[in-house]
A and B are shown apart, each in its own frame.
Chain A
């Protein structure tokens, strides 16, 4: 469990005290009911489709994950060794819940799943990721996505 009390003290302190961006604005976008939304996954797990360049250290850009990617094509290249990978090894939905998203779409609980999903490297300075995140926003809008679930590791 990621209750800080369950982690080694030094790690808990580092995680709790990690410097985080202090934004001047607090954006809030509303939208239609869930069953009309088109949902994409944006992960910070350093996910990469097999054969493409893994994240090298703290690359600030993103990798594209097409919606038809099969589970055996998705790898995890996050730089940190301090999180569990066995869950992802057994079932990619633990990190990248594409099957669940497709099921929710089939059940008409969400409107649809996006054509394309994205991954960043979560250990990167968020300030360096900003231009890439804004570029991803443009791509998401081209795909008519109006809801994103952000998934860390």
Chain B
């Protein structure tokens, strides 16, 4: 980019470059450059923020009026406000995939129950489809009412999460093979829509204003061993 500035300036046209990678600009030594602390691909900063974008472009263009060159490199002072995560965002598809996936495991789970004579699913008192629906609703940003007296909506969510985990891990262990807990955990957390949904649910709940929900999200959805991007 800075090289283009060099060629155009040699031809008599004044230029100012936006710089995203400062060391490259320092090496190429363009006549004028404004380094911006934005991610690659966003030279003018946040999408949908004309006021901020105009500050960037104007800060660059104002360098055209400055003396002191050649080689004038300034830094734009502010970060891109859209680089911050938005807690109101919920990933699409995850909820729908979870609900479909639950249905696809029915046969395996029935096999488990037939083989073992029991299931540990049942904390929530909901059917497994209702458990999936509860998680899906939270993922869509809704807060479904708890149908059980004495069980708040966040507590019901916790129970539904536990039931879904139990359902999956039982379904996965049906049959003659004896998978290790690590194998089962790797599968659930890394390769299922449910695992992806619970990671997304944790992230969304942690961003909530509701302290109780944060507590549940932080401690009772994703095991510490499986938390992605801790901190």
- Contact: A150 with B39, CB < 8 Å? no
- Interface flag for B44 (CB, 8 Å): yes
Contact status of A2 and B11, CB under 8 A, knowing A83-B40, A149-B61: no
- Contact: B21 with A147, CB < 8 Å? no
Q: How close is A126's CB to chain B, nearest CB, in angstroms? A: 3
- Contact: B61 with A87, CB < 8 Å? no
CB < 8 Å: which of B13, B53, B69 contacts A146?
Answer: B13
Q: How close is A135's CB to chain B, nearest CB, in angstroms? A: 10
- Contact: A4 with B18, CB < 8 Å? no
- Contact: A93 with B50, CB < 8 Å? yes
On chain B, the residues within 8 Å of A30 by CB distance are: 14, 67
- Contact: A148 with B8, CB < 8 Å? yes
Q: How close is A9's CB to chain B, nearest CB, in angstroms? A: 14
- Contact: A85 with B64, CB < 8 Å? no
On chain B, the residues within 8 Å of A68 by CB distance are: none
A-B contact count, CB below 8 Å? 206
Q: How close is A115's CB to chain B, nearest CB, in angstroms? A: 15
Contact status of A27 and B31, CB under 8 A, knowing A94-B46, A109-B58: yes
On chain A, the residues within 8 Å of B39 by CB distance are: 1-2, 83-84
The chain B residue with its CB closest to the CB of A37 is B64
- Contact: A138 with B40, CB < 8 Å? no
On chain B, the residues within 8 Å of A29 by CB distance are: 9, 12-15, 31
Q: How close is A11's CB to chain B, nearest CB, in angstroms? A: 9
- Contact: B14 with A148, CB < 8 Å? yes
- Contact: B48 with A39, CB < 8 Å? no
- Interface flag for B79 (CB, 8 Å): yes
Contact status of A1 and B79, CB under 8 A, knowing A27-B6, A103-B50: yes
Contact status of A136 and B8, CB under 8 A, knowing A34-B61, A147-B64: yes
Q: How close is B86's CB to chain A, nearest CB, in angstroms? A: 13
A130 to B36, alpha carbons, bound, how many Å? Answer: 25
A98 to B112, alpha carbons, bound, how many Å? Answer: 62
Contact bitstring A98-117, B, C-beta under 8 A = 1, else 0: 01110110000110000000
On chain A, the residues within 8 Å of B67 by CB distance are: 30
- Interface flag for B45 (CB, 8 Å): yes
On chain A, the residues within 8 Å of B2 by CB distance are: 20, 150
Q: List which A1-60 residues lie within 8 A (CB) of chain B.
A: 1-4, 15-18, 20-23, 25-31, 33-34, 37, 39, 42, 44
Interface residues of B (CB under 8 A from A): 1-21, 23-24, 27-31, 36-48, 50, 53-54, 57-58, 60-62, 64-65, 67, 69-71, 79-80, 82-83
